[in-house]
Amino acid sequence: MMFSLARLISKSAGSTVAGEAKHVPSKLSLMARAMSSQVTYEFETLNVTSPEEYVKHVELNRPKKMNAMNTAFWTEMIDCFNKLAVDPECRVVILSGAGKMFTAGLDFSDNEFFKTLMEGDEVSRKAFIFRRGIPMMQESFSVLERCNKPVITAMHQGCIGAGVDMSAAADIRYCTDDAWFQIKEIELGLAADLGTLQRFPKIIGNDSLCRELVYTARKFTAEEAKDMGFVSRIFPDKEAMMAATVELAQTIASKSPVAIQGSKINMVYSRDHSVPEGLEYMATYNSAMLQSEDTMKAVMGLMTKETPVFAKL
Ligand SMILES: CCC/C=C/C=C/C(=O)SCCNC(=O)CCNC(=O)[C@H](O)C(C)(C)COP(=O)(O)OP(=O)(O)OC[C@H]1O[C@@H](n2cnc3c(N)ncnc32)[C@H](O)[C@@H]1OP(=O)(O)O
């Protein structure tokens, strides 16, 4: 078993280098192709398209409800990002919202959701229900982080409550000039529990400001979001933002997927570990990945000034 697996992997090593005339697809790439043709993205609350090669666009798709997050949404996010994570046709993901705004956060009108949360009348039994339900909802955003492909959120107008939790789990955040953000959970009488309190302070690197925004639930503007480092670019309107986001995604998709995914894996790991632990993890990781055919192709590309073509991953 070990032997045949090793053979399969070693056979997969021979593929295209820039300018190479012939490319014999390996068993592994044929398997990947077969897998990708099976990936379908059909959801009630999400619309998934491919604006460019290797770029997937996930659009929150409940515009009439301001993309509020209902029961279907929580499970579809997990399903969608778990598929994107292994889809060889996907190297980078754009996440945006259809209609008037990015998202109004938790769906207040989702009776199914609230009924599930309120089931039972005995406190410890109810607590067990919450204890199972909250990690599931957290997972709906943690999948953005666990999906090794970079996720770029492109936000316009309101990004409220769970919208901040969600975008904080992404790699890169862009927004429009009219965007506004609100860590609103305090106003609902609860502590934000889907990642904002864990990820947001590390992103903005300003503990005092973070606590101010959490404790007051005051709205903050696009400009403030950029000043604090929550978003990296602001655009005059959604059209300009989406054009720039697709361009950024294309640039990322043109790079070695081994290098891009390896960088994300190691940045996520290092955020949650000490520098020596991060370096240790990196050394182990690259002891395998430095042997990637992508490294050779990338270096050859630099030397020959030809654009390298990387195999699917
Ligand atoms: C264990 C739980 C963990 C999860 C915690 C999550 C917490 C959070 O997400 S806190 C944030 C919750 N969200 C809100 O407080 C936003 C509430 N909505 C608004 O403030 C306004 O609607 C908004 C500013 C988003 C838009 O205002 P606008 O005047 O432009 O439009 P509206 O007429 O108010 O809304 C249009 C339709 O959208 C529906 N809608 C808006 N937000 C929600 C929502 N959160 N849930 C469900 N539906 C929402 C609104 O009802 C209108 O629908 P319709 O009446 O059918 O036209």
Q: At what angle do helices 2-12 and 27-38 cross, to 10 degrees?
A: 90
Q: By the 8 A CB rule, do 156 and 176 touch?
A: yes
pLDDT digit string (tens) for 70-102? Answer: 999 999 999 999 999 999 999 999 999 999 999
Q: What is the pTM of this model?
A: 0.90
Looking at every residue in the chain, the average pLDDT score rounds to 90
H/E run at residue 304:
helix 293-304
Q: What's the token pair of residue 261?
A: 């995914």
DSSP one-letter code for 102:
S
CATH 3.40.30.10 fits 255-313, yes or no: no
Q: Which ligand 1 atom sits closest to the C-alpha of 117?
A: 1
Ligand 1 binding pocket mutation candidate from 66, 100, 197 (most atoms within 8 A of CB): 66
The predicted pLDDT at position 22 comes to 44
Instruction: Check if the beta carbon of residue 54 is closer than 8 Å to that of residue 91.
Output: yes
Question: How remote is the CA of residue 189 from the centroid of ligand 1, in Å?
Answer: 16
How far, in Å, is the centroid of ligand 1 from the Cα of 89?
35
Stretch 55-60: mean pLDDT, rounded?
98
Strand, coil or helix: 20: coil
Residue 185 in contact with ligand 1 by CB distance below 6 A: yes
Compute the distance from residue 283 Cα to the ligand 1 centre, in Å: 47
Please tell me the distance between residue 106's alpha carbon and the centre of ligand 1 in angstroms: 8
Nearest CA to ligand 1 atom 45: 107
Q: Distance from the CA of 69 to the center of ligand 1, in angstroms?
A: 9
Output the pLDDT for position 19: 37
* CA-to-CA dists, residue 131 to 78, 81, 127, 161, 189, angstroms: 18, 23, 6, 20, 18
pLDDT of residue 91: 98
The Cα–Cα gap between 39 and 177 comes to 36
Ligand 1 centroid to Cα of residue 67, in Å, is 8
128-187 pLDDT per residue, tens: 888 998 999 999 999 999 999 999 999 999 999 999 999 999 999 999 999 999 999 999
Give the pLDDT of residue 126.
86
> 199 is written with which tokens?
């990820």
Give dist(CA 20, CA 10) in Å, integer: 19
Distance 86 CA to ligand 1 centre (A): 33
| Distance in angstroms (rounded) separating the CA atoms of residues 154 and 136 | 24
* Ligand 1 lined by 166 (C-beta under 6 Å): no
> Which is the closest atom of ligand 1 to the Cα of 162?
9
Q: Could you tell me which residue, 118 or 262, shows the higher pLDDT? A: 262
Could you give the CA distance from residue 179 to residue 92 in angstroms, rounded to a whole number? 23
Q: Ligand 1 centroid vs 227 CA: distance in angstroms?
A: 27
C-alpha to C-alpha distance for 310 and 259, rounded to whole angstroms = 11
CB 152 within 8 A of CB 58: no
pLDDT higher than threshold 50 for residue 107: yes
What are the beta bridge partners of residue 48? 58
More confident residue, 9 or 37: 37
CA–CA dist 156, 103 (Å, integer)? 9
pLDDT, mean of residues 29-35: 57
The reported pLDDT for the residue numbered 47 is 98
* 114 neighbors 176 (Cβ within 8 angstroms): no
Q: How far is ligand 1, taken at its centre, from the CA of residue 256, in Å? A: 41
The label of the residue with tokens 């990322």 reads: 252
Q: Six-digit token pair at 258?
A: 């081994």
Tell me, what's the pLDDT at 130? 87
First-to-last CA distance in the chain? 23
* Cβ 97 under 6 angstroms from ligand 1: no
| Any ligand 1 atom below 6 A from CB of 252 | no
**The pLDDT value given to residue 232:** 98
Residue in 30, 32, 28, 58 with CA at minimum distance from that of residue 46: 58
Q: What is the pLDDT of residue 6?
A: 33
How far away, in angstroms, is 184 Cα from ligand 1 center?
A: 12
pLDDT classification of 26: cutoffs 50, 70, 90: low
Q: Which two tokens stand for residue 140?
A: 């709906």
Asked if ipTM goes beyond 0.85, one says yes
- Determine the pLDDT at residue 17: 34
- Pick the residue whose CA is nearest to atom 49 on ligand 1: 65
Tokens 């499970």 sit on residue: 75
162 lines ligand 1 (CB under 6 A): yes
Q: Which of 57, 53, 60 is nearest to 88 (CA)?
A: 53
6 lines ligand 1 (CB under 6 A): no
The predicted pLDDT at position 30 comes to 55
Q: Are 196 and 204 in contact (CB under 8 A)?
A: no
Domain boundaries in the chain? 25-254, 255-313
pLDDT in the model for residue 10: 35
Q: Is the pLDDT of residue 9 over 50?
A: no
| Mean pLDDT score, 251-262 | 98
Percent of the chain with pLDDT over 70: 87
- Does ligand 1 have an atom closer than 6 angstroms to the CB of 150? no
Which neighbouring-strand residues pair with 69?
Answer: 106
Given a cut of 90, whether residue 34 has pLDDT beyond it is no
Highest CATH level, class, for 25-254: alpha beta
Question: Residues 273, 279, 284, 290: is their CA dihedral positive or negative?
Answer: positive
The ligand 1 atom at the shortest distance from the C-alpha of residue 107 is 46
